Amino acid sequence: MSANVGVNQLQRRNHSRTNVGRKAGTTIITIVMIFVAAYFLLPLVWLLISTTKTGSELFNTPMLALPKHIGLFANLKLVSTYHGGYFWRWYLNSAIYATVTSVLSTVICSLAGYALAKYRFRARQFVFGMILASLLVPAAALTVPTFLMVKFLGLMNTYAGVIVPGLATAFGVYFLSIYIGEAMPTEFMDSGRVDGAGEWQIFWRIAIPVLRPGMVTYLLISFIGSWNNFFLPLLILNSSALYPLPLGLDVWSTYLTQAGAGVPPYAQIVTGSFLSILPMVVLFPFLRKYIASGMITGGIKM
């Protein structure tokens, strides 16, 4: 905040937007921005450096000091073999959960969103109203019920138990129906009909190519959402072989303070955390644009 005031005074002193005033303002704000950037990067840089340290160095060397002995390979080996060696299995599980959920959810929600946006039929208002109403229900109210439903269907401790409840999201249909309503001209559908195409053909051949950007956005949001998902797997899974990464790392972190769990697995958790965020953080610069554009469509229209 103090930086704000500083800039304000500076500008007032110069009054006009001369180059000098602008340069000074730019410098001060840029310094502030760099400090803020350091705050956001700090944990990630710390994680990167710590991954290369051995367990004892983690606590004996300054936080951001580079390691004296490269512990990376030892850590990788530790992670791969710790407590039954499930880590890479968790990695695979996370990839399966996120890929299957996001792809199926995109198809299901796009179809529904397309129907709601582009057809006039009797149940339309009712379904749309129901979706809007459900957006107001906090997920917490559905924790126990979802758990019971999964149990009822006999899907406890299965891949399907984690995937199926997350497929039909009200947000997805809401977002896609608004996007489709704007991005897909009804004339395209009419000209398809004139050419003798069926409604499904129009959807697959004409609509999907037009709507790809919005669908990609939802796919990414959904992928990140289920890659990060923790609560549902926590309720539904109890065998280590099915855990996604966040759940596995949570279980490891319970060994930190548990009596009789052996040496606290600091190095394993640090390295495991680093590996589990690596793909997303690396891909993020390329995906940012799609995600941000989708958030605004989902957000501004509320």
Chain residues 209-268 in contact with another protein, contact rule CB under 8 A: 224, 227-228, 230-231, 235, 245-247, 249-250, 253-254, 256-257, 266
Examine residue 138 and tell whether it contacts another protein (CB under 8 A): yes
Least distance to another protein from the beta carbon of 147, Å? Answer: 7
Q: Does 96 bind another protein (CB under 8 A)?
A: no
97 binds another protein (CB under 8 A): no
| CA–CA gap between residue 193 and residue 203 (Å, rounded) | 11
Contact region with another protein (CB under 8 A), list: 25-33, 70-78, 82-90, 211-219: 25-33
Say whether residue 277 binds another protein (CB under 8 A).
Answer: yes
- Residue 25 in tokens: 């303002």
The closest of 182, 219, 242 to 294, measured between CA atoms, is 219
Q: How far is the CB of 194 from another protein (least distance, A)?
A: 14
Stretch near another protein under the rule CB under 8 A, chosen from 72-80, 81-89, 113-121, 208-216: 113-121
CA atoms of 221 and 242, how far apart (whole Å): 23
Number of residues that bind another protein (CB under 8 A): 100
Selected binder of another protein within 18, 20, 35, 37 (CB under 8 A)? 37
Site residues (CB under 8 A) for another protein, limited to 185-214: 198-200, 203
In the complex, what is the shortest distance from the CB of residue 98 to another protein, in angstroms, rounded to a whole number?
11
Q: Does 47 bind another protein (CB under 8 A)?
A: yes
Which amino acid, 28? I
d(CA 227, CA 101): 10
Under the binding rule (CB under 8 A), the answer on residue 124 touching another protein is yes
Q: Which of 13, 19, 84, 136 binds another protein (CB under 8 A)?
A: 136
Q: In the complex, what is the shortest distance from the CB of residue 152 to another protein, in angstroms, rounded to a whole number?
A: 9
Q: How far is the CB of 146 from another protein (least distance, A)?
A: 6
Structure tokens at 89: 């299995």
9 versus 81: smaller Cβ distance to another protein: 9
CA–CA distance from 301 to each of 61, 98, 111, 178, 298 (Å)?
50, 27, 20, 8, 6
- Exactly one of 76, 95, 170, 183 binds another protein (CB under 8 A); that residue is 170
